[in-house]
């Protein structure tokens, strides 16, 4: 039976969407990933979609509130920004929450290519840093 992980950030437009897409693509046999934002934005950031497409992942996720998952059996919640860690809804449960902060690519400045480089760097960190967190959680159970 698949485990379910919720990636939580503030706007649910970049980091959490990329994490959801990567985990569903690369670890979908073991994990079902979903994402939400404590203050969800209107749409997934086009640069997040673009860098995902560069690695062959087409992602159609849309920002949403964690309340959407209130009745789901979540095995793990990973907050990926400090604000989400501070504002994580209490009903998500303390024992199943891990905080792993990642820089917000929305803060990137410069040319279009320089901004995309920041998105690529965050995506790379998701690909290398999130799977060990999931593996460690599985090892506990």
CATH number at residue 31: 3.40.50.2300
Q: What is the pLDDT of residue 89?
A: 65
d(CA 35, CA 66): 8
Percent of the chain at pLDDT > 90 equals 73
Which is catalytic among the residues 5, 9, 21, 126?
Answer: 9
Whether 88 is catalytic: yes
Q: Quick check: is 81 catalytic?
A: yes
Q: Which of 5, 14, 18, 88 is catalytic?
A: 88
Q: What is the pLDDT of residues 33-83, one digit of tens each?
A: 999 999 999 999 999 999 999 999 999 889 999 999 888 888 999 999 877
- Determine the structural domain holding residue 112 and report its residue range: 3-140
14, 81, 123, 126: which one is catalytic?
81
| Across 104-124, average pLDDT | 95
Tell me what the pLDDT averaged over the chain comes to. Answer: 91
Task: Give the mean pLDDT of 77-95.
Answer: 72
For residue 97, name the pLDDT band (cuts at 50, 70, 90): confident
Q: What is the pLDDT of residue 91?
A: 59
pLDDT of residue 92: 63
9 is catalytic: yes
Q: How many domains in the chain?
A: 1
pLDDT of residue 98: 87
């Amino acid at each position: 039976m698949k485990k379910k992980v919720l990636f939580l950030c503030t706007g649910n437009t970049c980091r959490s969407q990329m994490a959801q897409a990567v985990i569903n693509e690369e670890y979908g046999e073991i994990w079902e990933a979903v994402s939400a934002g404590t203050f969800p934005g209107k749409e997934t950031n086009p640069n997040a979609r673009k860098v995902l497409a560069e690695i062959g992942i087409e992602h159609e996720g849309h920002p949403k509130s964690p309340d959407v998952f209130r009745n789901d059996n979540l095995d793990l919640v990973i907050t990926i920004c400090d604000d989400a860690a501070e504002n994580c809804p209490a009903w998500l449960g303390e024992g199943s929450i891990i905080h792993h902060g990642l820089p917000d690519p929305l803060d990137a400045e410069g040319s279009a290519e320089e901004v995309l480089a920041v998105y690529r760097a965050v995506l790379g960190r998701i690909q290398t840093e999130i799977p060990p967190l999931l593996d460690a959680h599985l090892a506990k159970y």
